Amino acid sequence: MNKILMRGILAGCCLCAVLIAGSCSGEREVDGDASGGIQLGLLMETYDVDRWARDQAFFEEKAESLGAQVLKAVADGDQDRQNKQAESLLTRGADALVVVPKNLATASRIIRVAHEKNVPVVAYDRLIRDCDLDIYVTFDNERVGYLQAKGILEIVPEGNYILLGGAASDNNAALFRSGQMRAITEHQAEKGNAVTILADPFLDNWDRDEARRRIAGLITKFKAEGTDVHAIVASNDSTAGGAIAALKATGLAGKVAVSGQDAELAACQRVVEGTQTLTVYKPVRELATVAAEVAVRLAEGEEPEEVIASLGLEVHKLDNGYKEVDSIFLEPVYVTRENMADTVIADGWHPLEKVYANIPEDEWPAGK
């Protein structure tokens, strides 16, 4: 065999080996175009909750409109993997990182490694703790919890409540609970109505099945004691779905008020069907758009407070255990059957025909 042919075969084999190794790396990274310009590293924790793929799409759309390229990776719920993915994106030249962390404590390694390369980091909708984080972009999560409870209190002004928290490891879950308690305390002071909190568990994860099991156990317990449950303030739509599954099994779905958040399609369907009382809608396009613009400006060398002020937003400070982090809090809104068409549907978050898929068409909102 001549030498030229042999070299061609060897080169082809090497190329195949590289491609195979890359496809088996397990990183689940999607390359951006590394040909100049600002590059933003987007580190997603998971796609398990419906909204996250939308966050990513809106973020990319805005970043690209600003002339930035997006390098992205998803960690599949593994914080160690995400930490390694961050190092990979930094090696590939990311000028700023935007992170949705799994573990709010051990994700601090990302900030330390990024700052060694003078790369700023934005925490996206989950605060990263105990580190020199540059900016936190989120919705006002205490306000989310406040609206969850306030909306339920308007329907069930007194009675026996279960507060169903999210992942105990997630700082947002604590903020939701703080807002829920503030709404209940204010309500009792203003109205004089008694709200009895029968149980207030947090979960290990934002997990529908875990929520179903927990609520099923509590319903059984309280039924044996002769105690009725009138409302469940669930901290997101996934846990609300689990709670409602438990209620259905005992014939109580639609009889017990249930909150949620994230305006997931299944939750919006439950709201118009009457088994879920409300969801809290957080306009994710706005969150992703703001985060992309913040990341680009940080990459260009602007200071966090300067960035926030230039966007016409208020600078908030949130203690992450290391410092008071410059933060942006966007405004959520709670959604019931009555305002579904004017919020979730009007914004194009979900189409009317999907939200009302299980409702007779003659009961759909007029003119929508």
pLDDT along the chain (368 residues), means of 10: 40 40 40 68 87 91 97 95 98 98 94 98 96 96 96 97 94 94 97 94 95 98 97 97 98 98 96 98 93 98 96 94 97 94 92 96 82
If you count them, how many residues does the chain have? Answer: 368
Task: Map residue 166 onto helix, strand or coil.
Answer: coil
The pLDDT of residue 12: 45
Residues 242 and 148 in one domain: yes
Q: Which domain holds residue 163?
A: 142-282
Residues 92 and 46 in one domain: yes
Residues 153 and 259 in one domain: yes
Q: Is residue 255 part of a domain?
A: yes
Residue 155, CA distances (Å) to 144, 230, 245 in order: 17, 10, 21
Domain count, the chain: 2
The pLDDT of residue 18: 37
The pLDDT of residue 26: 38
Phi/psi at 16 (5° precision): -60, -40
The pLDDT of residue 348: 87
Q: Is residue 194 part of a domain?
A: yes
Q: Compute the distance between CA of residue 347 and CA of residue 12 in angstroms, rounded to an integer.
A: 51
Looking up residue 205, the CATH number of its domain turns out to be: 3.40.50.2300
Q: Is residue 221 part of a domain?
A: yes
Q: Compute the distance between CA of residue 272 and CA of residue 278 in angstroms, rounded to an integer.
A: 9
The pLDDT of residue 366: 78
- The answer to whether 243 and 141 have CB atoms below 8 angstroms apart is no
Q: Compute the distance between CA of residue 52 and CA of residue 29 in angstroms, rounded to an integer.
A: 16
Would you put residue 272 in left (φ > 0), alpha (ψ -120 to 50) or beta?
alpha
Q: Is residue 106 part of a domain?
A: yes
Residues 291 and 275 in one domain: no
Strands (E), the chain: 29-30, 39-44, 69-74, 96-99, 121-124, 135-139, 159-164, 195-199, 231-234, 257-258, 279-281, 316-319, 324-330, 333-335
Handedness of CA 80, 83, 85, 91 (dihedral sign): negative
